[in-house]
Amino acid sequence: MPTKLFRRGMLLFATLLATLAQADLKLNMTRGVTDISNEVYGLHMLIFWVCVVIGIIVFGVMGYSIVMHRKSRGAVADNFHESVKVELLWTILPAIVVIAIGYRAFFTLEKMYDFDDSDMTVEIVGYQWKWRYSYLGGDAAERVTYFSSLATPRDQINGLTTKGENYLLEVDEPLVLPIGMKIRFVISSADVIHSWWVPQLAVKKDAIPGIVNESWTHINEPGTYRGQCTELCGKDHGFMPIVVEALPQAEFDTWLAAKKVETRKLAELTQKDWTYDELMELGESAYVKNCAACHQVDGSGIAGVFPALKNSVIALGPVEDHIDIVVNGSRNNAAMAAYGAQLSEVDMAAIITYERNAWGNDTGDVVTPVDILNYNAGQ
Amino acid sequence: MTTTTDHHDHDHEHHGPAKGLTRWIYTTNHKDIGTLYLWFSFAMFFLGGLFAMVIRAELFQPGLQLIQPEFFNQMTTMHGLIMVFGAVMPAFVGLANWMIPMMIGAPDMALPRMNNLSFWILPFAFAMLTSTLFMTGGAPNFGWTFYAPLSTTYAPPSVTYFIFAIHLMGASSIMGAINVIATILNMRAPGMTWMKLPLFVWTWLITAFLLIAVMPVLAGVVTMMLMDIHFGTSFFNAAGGGSPVLFQHLFWFFGHPEVYIMILPAFGIVSAIIPTFARKKLFGYSSMVYATSSIALLSFIVWAHHMFTVGIPFAGELFFMAATMLIAVPTGVKVFNWVTTMFRGSLTFETPMLFSIAFVVLFSIGGFSGLMLAVAPADFQYHDTYFVVAHFHYVLVPGAIFSIMASVYYWLPKWSGRMYNETLGKTHFWLSFVGVNVTFFPQHFVGLAGMPRRIPDYSVQFADINMISSMGAFLFGASQLLFLFVVIHTIVAGKKAPAKPWEGAEGLEWEVASPAPYHTFTTPPKID
Amino acid sequence: MTEQQQPPRSHIKVVMVSIGTVIGMLLFVYYGLRPLYFLICEWTGITGSSFDQAEAQPFVVQEDRPIKVQFLALNNAAMSWQFHAVDSEVIAYPGEVVQVSYYARNASQRDMVGQAVPSLSPFEATGYFSKTECFCFNQQPLAAGEDAELGLVFQIDPDLPDWVKTISLTYTLFDVTGEMEVSLLD
């Protein structure tokens, strides 16, 4: 054996291990903040140690052989090559270990499947590339529904500014939940398969179009818990995080009441008189948030994949066609969703106004929220 | 003719191989076809490896530095497809072609012309698949597991070529599997009874049955996709009454046996090499055969462990957890048997043995993380994170790929008639060993810490481990250039090899000259 | 080596039989699979939750067992209609025949056809929730600006497992304008 090379290799490996040890690293699963997450952590550690013990035994025997049974040490090969007793032993013993772990896992799994008897229900819908949360129950006119999108600025992603502490794990509007209550989730998707995961709650469920899935949680401690989408869903799969803000009951109630007031206020905003500048300002930020992922910040799209809006037939043509495609989506390409179902009239009016006037498009057209309302009402 | 020993083989040969390039296009010789498969697989290994280097380069640091997310998704998809269907599977088929006839004392495979077709389909299929990188809309970008509706309603135009390529690869594998079964069943030399077969032949026989059982299912799945995309059906489209979950069931019904297809031949290789370098018979031969068969049978009833978070009913979830945990038992039996083979042997550590020992240790580590994944409640925290990526790379890279490298070092003297340079071989081993562990071991941790799969950018707490992993990947990738050099150098300038270069080797392949004559065992050997 | 011979008769027969078999298989797939599928479903009783419009059974209503039934409405991203459940939550008793409705409005400028796909949770309740009148899987055409109230009548089987106290029924609305007019209930 080339010992020099071997030694150098070992040195490199040791250096890497040392780097590993010193770097600020989270190396294990979180215990989390729910009873279930703690049970899951316990199962994880149990099976982990079982594997470590088996590994030490097996690799230990092998290591012993490698040292003591070398030909260069004068070892002469024995000639035993079968034993029914031994085969039975190392079939039955591992089977017992495995069954024991399975038995313990059964009870945790049963609890994870007990969705019923909850105190509230939250509807979670996955979109490309954001989540929509809806608090079910109560008066339909006051139902709090909102989208939750990545809030990390593009500049950080492109390396133009330093990355924040919660880089890629921050959203504009977190899911706010009360602690100490059983919360049921009903989960689905509006386009492709996504998956909603918050490690500290140990909740992960796929969001599948056309199908409703259930899950539940009961959060023990207030705090902020961050997760990510865990099913490949297209280009921004890595950019649709989840943030759960768990509040004590009283604070949650206050928050929810305030949100309901906001919902009513939005209806009023729709009727207000908007100026060109106000629409352009809101339009730019709404465009960046909702449209730039595909059509790009400068409106140039991606050749062959996402059409350009700068100088485009839609942005320069009849206003009605432009409203149609934003509200109803594209007939030919499922990737252009029907934003009428996702955005408020205020946002859509602002975005369309912006698209018709930015990047040199300069049509001078102004589309107000009332225009959108009227369009929807069919006038 | 009345003579039966192989001394007279060369009397019956009227000609050696044809001359020129057409030799390789028209060959029906199992050794030539084996060589074609192995070189093809080597090329695909580099291509898939190149994509992996692009992936790890982007993941070297947080942020998007080199490529855009759309292209990243194409890289991860193509890396998976090419490694699974272009590198690992063809390598094992190449080894089957080269070694099975010799190991059973047969002159060639049962269906030599179909053998030729099985190979030549592949370069065409992969050229087409690779060309999708240059098409409008880009290459397939929906993961090698291509879940609907991402791969149907939302797929780029190249998906149709992807489907065509899968059909071709499937046809190639099915024909190859039929050939293997026909050969082993019908062409064993007299006296070569079932329980005398080398374990490599056994594992390939079982693998061939798995292939025939599941490749048609894959063909069915991609055909249904094609129908959904182009002909208005709704197999996987909820709008028309179909279900995306149906896709997953059908895919994984193929997908799970597929991963056993990718590991059983590796088990056979290691069962050939360890006894040779321990100078001791394989411990528990019949047990090994039964264990392999149990693994193959069990592999059909565990598929939904890939779907624990999809929302399958409680009873189903429980069943799949139990069956999956059970499959650890026969796999463990095999590991114990290998270790017992080494125990009280007389060990030397040439390169094939180094790779085989590393296989046993590192594949077992992959098996441990697999056992952890089987525990359904815990899987809710592991699923679709880097913990899974670490698991399957451990069983596939220091698992399947190391076994292939071991087999190359082990049998290259037989194929080429020349010995490889032992120092270079060991260097390749140690560099690969360090590289593979530095790349994939840290991924367990970053997965446990919460990093999902298939993302081009990640939050800053994962940065240090990703950097280490990328460095390991670059080391591993670069080391394979050394492997290429070793192989070519051996063929061109290696020292001449005897018929049996390994003192402890057993098997019919070592009774023919090195390099093996173009036609071997044209008269069957006598087996005692 | 030898001169070209006529392929033996038995070879031609094998070829003809093989071709005939392949054609027969293709015809079977095209004409025979669908009736066979429905036959097998009926014979084994695996009919799925929404396939048959069941008939209301004369069950005795279990008045001591309130079941909370939630009705959710979801739009596929490419579908622009307004769509929501008029009654988002009702308390139903096993055996009782209950009527609820959904509201849909085509607010666009063109005529469209929608299709609502149901999904029920928990899975174990699916066999006990029969819809005696349902707009699921029926293609719903709405002219530009038109709206409709879509009725749903259901009945919960009293044999529903004890532990089920809440049932969620989601309808996902898809745009199927221009797709083949096929009813999945025949």
User: Based on the domain organization, do C83 and C134 belong to the same domain?
Assistant: yes
State the Cα–Cα distance between residues A177 and A133, nearest whole angstrom. 11
Structure-token match 């059982």, residue found: B213
ipTM of this complex prediction, to 2 decimal places: 0.93
Tokens representing B150 are: 């991402």
State the nearest Cα–Cα gap between A262 and chain B, in angstroms: 32
Tokens representing B521 are: 């065992």
* Cis? peptide before C94, omega within 30° of 0: no
Sequence letter at residue B301: I
Q: Pairing relation of β-strands A242-247 and A175-178?
A: parallel
Query: Taking an 8 Å Cβ-Cβ cutoff, which residues of chain B contact chain C?
Result: 232, 238-241, 311-314
Structure-token match 């993302």, residue found: B455
Q: Point out the residue among B232, B238, B314 whose CB comes nearest to the CB of C179.
A: B232
Residues of A in contact with B328 (CB under 8 A): 94, 98
Contact A94 B329 (CB under 8 A): yes
Residues of C in contact with A342 (CB under 8 A): 77
- Kindly state the helix (H) or strand (E) to which residue B251 belongs, with its residue range: helix B244-261
- Map residue B445 onto helix, strand or coil: helix
Contact B364 A24 (CB under 8 A): no
Taking CB atoms and an 8 Å cut-off, how many pairs form between chains B and C?
A: 25
User: Based on the domain organization, do C24 and C77 belong to the same domain?
Assistant: no
User: Based on the domain organization, do C99 and C134 belong to the same domain?
Assistant: yes
User: Based on the domain organization, do C77 and C149 belong to the same domain?
Assistant: yes
Q: Which whole number is the average pLDDT over C43-66?
A: 73
Whether A352 contacts A322, CB under 8 Å = yes
pLDDT band at B491 (very low <50, low <70, confident <90, very high): very high
User: Based on the domain organization, do C61 and C33 belong to the same domain?
Assistant: no
Q: Give the per-residue pLDDT at C109.
A: 73
State the Cα–Cα distance between residues A233 and B453, nearest whole angstrom. 11
Q: What angle do CA C70, C72, C74 make, to 5 degrees?
A: 170
Residues of B in contact with C117 (CB under 8 A): 238-239, 241
Number of CB atoms found within 10 A of residue A173's CB:
16
Residues of C in contact with B239 (CB under 8 A): 76, 115, 117, 174-176
User: Quick check: is C180 in a domain?
Assistant: no
- B55-109 tens-digit pLDDT: 999 999 999 999 999 999 999 999 999 999 999 999 999 999 999 999 999 999 9
Number of domains in chain C: 2
State the Cα–Cα distance between residues C162 and A352, nearest whole angstrom. 53
Q: Point out the residue among A127, A184, A331 whose CB comes nearest to the CB of C77.
A: A127
- A96 in B contact zone (CB under 8 Å): no
Query: Taking an 8 Å Cβ-Cβ cutoff, which residues of chain C contact chain A?
Result: 70, 72, 74-82, 84, 88-89, 107-109, 117, 119-122, 144-145, 163-166, 168-170, 172, 174-175, 177
Residues of C in contact with A114 (CB under 8 A): 163
- Dihedral (CA of B449, B452, B454, B460) sign: negative
Its domain, for residue C83, covers 48-175
Whether C157 contacts C94, CB under 8 Å = yes
- Map residue B350 onto helix, strand or coil: coil
List the single range of A66-80, B177-191, B421-435 with lowest mean pLDDT.
Answer: A66-80
List the single range of A98-102, A202-206, B338-342, C7-11 with lowest mean pLDDT.
Answer: C7-11
User: Based on the domain organization, do C23 and C79 belong to the same domain?
Assistant: no
Q: Give the per-residue pLDDT at B393.
A: 98
User: Quick check: is C105 in a domain?
Assistant: yes
- A145-156 tens-digit pLDDT: 999 999 999 999
- C115 in B contact zone (CB under 8 Å): yes
User: Based on the domain organization, do C104 and C22 belong to the same domain?
Assistant: no
Q: What φ, ψ does residue C24 adopt, rounded to 5°?
A: -60, -40
Per-residue 3-state assignment (H helix, E strand, C coil) for B271-285: HHHHHHHHCCCCCCH
Question: Cα(first)–Cα(last) distance of chain C, in Å?
Answer: 64
Whether C110 contacts C128, CB under 8 Å = no
Whether B124 contacts B168, CB under 8 Å = yes
Residues of B acting as catalytic residues: 79, 108, 144, 172-173, 256, 258, 260, 271, 305-306, 331, 334, 453
Whether B375 contacts B321, CB under 8 Å = yes
Residues forming a β-bridge with C75: C173
For testing contact with chain A, the best of C69, C172, C173, C179 (most A CBs within 10 A) = C172
Tokens representing B134 are: 């240059």
User: Based on the domain organization, do C108 and C157 belong to the same domain?
Assistant: yes
Number of CB atoms found within 10 A of residue B53's CB:
18
Among B97, B2, B3, B1, which residue's Cα sits nearest to residue B41?
Answer: B97
User: Quick check: is C79 in a domain?
Assistant: yes
Q: Which whole number is the average pLDDT over A217-233?
A: 97
pLDDT band at B19 (very low <50, low <70, confident <90, very high): confident
User: Quick check: is C70 in a domain?
Assistant: yes
For testing contact with chain A, the best of C69, C71, C164, C170 (most A CBs within 10 A) = C170
User: Quick check: is C82 in a domain?
Assistant: yes
Q: What share of chain B is helix, strand, coil (3-state, %, to 5)?
A: 70, 0, 30
Q: Which whole number is the average pLDDT over A251-271?
A: 84
- A240-252 tens-digit pLDDT: 999 999 999 999 9
User: Based on the domain organization, do C24 and C65 belong to the same domain?
Assistant: no
State the Cα–Cα distance between residues A109 and B308, nearest whole angstrom. 11
Residues of B in contact with A94 (CB under 8 A): 328-329, 332
State the Cα–Cα distance between residues B265 and B318, nearest whole angstrom. 30
- C174 in B contact zone (CB under 8 Å): yes
User: Based on the domain organization, do C55 and C30 belong to the same domain?
Assistant: no
- C75 in B contact zone (CB under 8 Å): no
User: Quick check: is C2 in a domain?
Assistant: no
Mean of all residue pLDDT scores within chain C:
84
Tokens representing C139 are: 């293609």
State the Cα–Cα distance between residues B142 and B159, nearest whole angstrom. 9
Averaging pLDDT over each range in A67-76, B15-24, B45-54, C33-42, which range is the top one?
B45-54
* Confidence check: pLDDT of A75 > 60: yes
User: Based on the domain organization, do C20 and C62 belong to the same domain?
Assistant: no
DSSP 8-state class, residue B242: -
Contact B283 A82 (CB under 8 A): yes
Contact A330 C119 (CB under 8 A): no
User: Strands across the sheet with A130-135, in order?
Assistant: A145-148, A130-135, A120-127, A182-189, A213-218
The residue count of chain A comes to 379
Q: Which residues contact C166 (CB under 8 A, 6 or more apart)?
A: A115, A116, A117, A118, A184, C67, C68, C69, C70
Structure-token match 């006894």, residue found: B275
Sequence letter at residue B327: I
Whether B235 contacts B228, CB under 8 Å = yes
The residue count of chain C comes to 186
- A174-192 tens-digit pLDDT: 999 999 999 999 999 999 9
Instruction: State the CATH number of the domain containing residue C62.
Output: 2.60.370.10
State the nearest Cα–Cα gap between A153 and chain B, in angstroms: 11
Q: Which residues contact B314 (CB under 8 A, 6 or more apart)?
A: A109, A110, A113, C124
State the Cα–Cα distance between residues B262 and B84, nearest whole angstrom. 8
Q: In sequence order, what DSSP letters do the residues of B117-179 get, joined into one string? A: HHHHHHHHHHHHHHHGGGSTT-S--STTTT-TTTTTTT--TTHHHHHHHHHHHHHHHHHHHHH
Cβ burial of B349 (10 Å; 0-12, 13-18, 19+) is middle
Residues of C in contact with A140 (CB under 8 A): 84, 88
pLDDT band at A23 (very low <50, low <70, confident <90, very high): very low
Among B335, B348, B287, B271, which residue's Cα sits nearest to residue B504?
Answer: B348
> Helix B159-186 vs helix B89-104: angle between axes, to the nearest 10 degrees?
10
Q: What φ, ψ does residue A372 adopt, rounded to 5°?
A: -65, -45
- B136 in A contact zone (CB under 8 Å): yes
- Map residue C19 onto helix, strand or coil: helix
Q: Give the per-residue pLDDT at A16.
A: 62
pLDDT band at B1 (very low <50, low <70, confident <90, very high): very low
Residues of C in contact with B314 (CB under 8 A): 124
**What's the Cα-to-Cα distance from B524 to each of B16, B527, C8, rounded to whole Å?**
19, 9, 31
Q: Give the per-residue pLDDT at B5.
A: 45
Contact C117 B313 (CB under 8 A): no
State the Cα–Cα distance between residues A58 and A66, nearest whole angstrom. 12
For testing contact with chain A, the best of B72, B134, B150, B283 (most A CBs within 10 A) = B150
* Confidence check: pLDDT of B12 > 60: no
Mean of all residue pLDDT scores within chain A:
90
Whether A353 contacts A280, CB under 8 Å = yes
Tokens representing A330 are: 């594209």
Q: Give the per-residue pLDDT at C41.
A: 81
State the Cα–Cα distance between residues C141 and B192, nearest whole angstrom. 71
Q: In sequence order, what DSSP letters do the residues of A68-120 get, joined into one string? A: HTBGGGT---------HHHHHHHHHHHHHHHHHHHHHHHHHHHHHT---S-SE
Question: Cα(first)–Cα(last) distance of chain A, in Å?
Answer: 85
User: Based on the domain organization, do C119 and C170 belong to the same domain?
Assistant: yes
* Confidence check: pLDDT of A379 > 50: no
* Confidence check: pLDDT of A335 > 90: no
User: Quick check: is C151 in a domain?
Assistant: yes
Per-residue 3-state assignment (H helix, E strand, C coil) for B464-510: HHHHHHHHHHHHHHHHHHHHHHHHHHHHHHCEECCCCCCCCCCCHHH
State the Cα–Cα distance between residues B263 and B275, nearest whole angstrom. 19
Among B73, B140, B64, which residue's Cα sits nearest to residue B453?
Answer: B73
Q: Which whole number is the average pLDDT over B429-451?
A: 97
User: Quick check: is C186 in a domain?
Assistant: no
Whether A367 contacts A356, CB under 8 Å = yes
CA atoms within 13 A on the CB side of B247: 26
* Confidence check: pLDDT of A44 > 80: yes
